[in-house]
Chains A and B, each alone.
Chain A
Amino acid sequence: QVQLVESGGGVVQPGRSLRLSCAASGFTFSSYAMHWVRQAPGKGLEWVAIISYDIRNKYYADSVKGRFTISRDNSKNTLYLQMDSLRAEDTAVYYCARDNYGGYGACDIWGQGTMVTVSS
């Protein structure tokens, strides 16, 4: 079945780095744009980044621009989020999600999320 599974979360000190992964299965990963969305504890949803199906286009929220990098390996059906210079306010559950219309759509499939805690 169509599935996204995130991994790589954990506890990290401020200023350090972490890389999240999202393994896709059950659909043609290379045909879909993909997103990262996060949710701080007890808070709402915040869109983080998007990457086009062909890796040509990437866009970021202002809150992470210059610190986070979205990437993908279509040969491995995997999406990544490299998070550098982490701050306490980056603490959140990070979800990967599939775009349902070529990068111009809504997020129709979501992973279960992976928790990132930035704390000393």
Chain B
Amino acid sequence: EIVLTQSPGTLSLSPGERATLSCRASQSVSSTSLAWYQQKPGQAPRLLIYGASNRATGIPDRFSGSGSGTDFTLTISRLEPEDFAVYYCQQYGSSPRTFGQGTKVEIK
């Protein structure tokens, strides 16, 4: 099973700042099968990025993903008030699919 470790656990930033979230895999993730999701309290997750760097439908271009192999990054170029949430990475290249433990982006 591929273990995904996200860092930091919590990121305290102000609106307008840049957020950089990390996701490290215990083994190489095949074919860049890495996704990022956003989850707000009481809501279902929302797909942001798939294939490591492809934005899902309707996702603003301030969200970008990069990386390959075992190291992946989600970048939010300028935080909007609605971006404060928990973010999860997920690998879907091997079974079982696994999620990281999440990074909370909170208002500083």
Contact = CB atoms under 8 A, between A and B. Distances in A.
Interface residues of A, number: 22
Contact of A110 (B35, B45, B98, B102): B45
A85 B20 CA distance: 42
A45 B86 CA distance: 11
Q: How many B residues touch the partner, as a band?
A: 20 to 34
A100 interface: yes
B90 A45 contact: yes
Contacts of A107: 35, 37, 45, 47, 90
The majority secondary structure among interface residues of chain B is: loop
Contact of A108 (B39, B47, B99, B102): B47
Interface string B77-108: 00000000000101010011111111000000
A95 B46 CA distance: 12
A111 B44 contact: yes
Nearest to B46: A110
17 contacts: A37-B45, A44-B101, A45-B37, A45-B88, A101-B50, A104-B33, A104-B92, A106-B51, A106-B90, A107-B37, A107-B47, A108-B47, A110-B44, A110-B45, A110-B46, A111-B44, A112-B43
B44 A61 contact: no
B50 A62 contact: no
Contacts of A108: 47, 50, 56-57
A45 to B, nearest CB: 4
Contact of B96 (A62, A104, A106): A62
Contact of A95 (B44, B97, B102): B44
Q: 3 closest Cβ contacts across the A-B interface?
A: A106-B35, A106-B50, A110-B44
Nearest to A112: B44
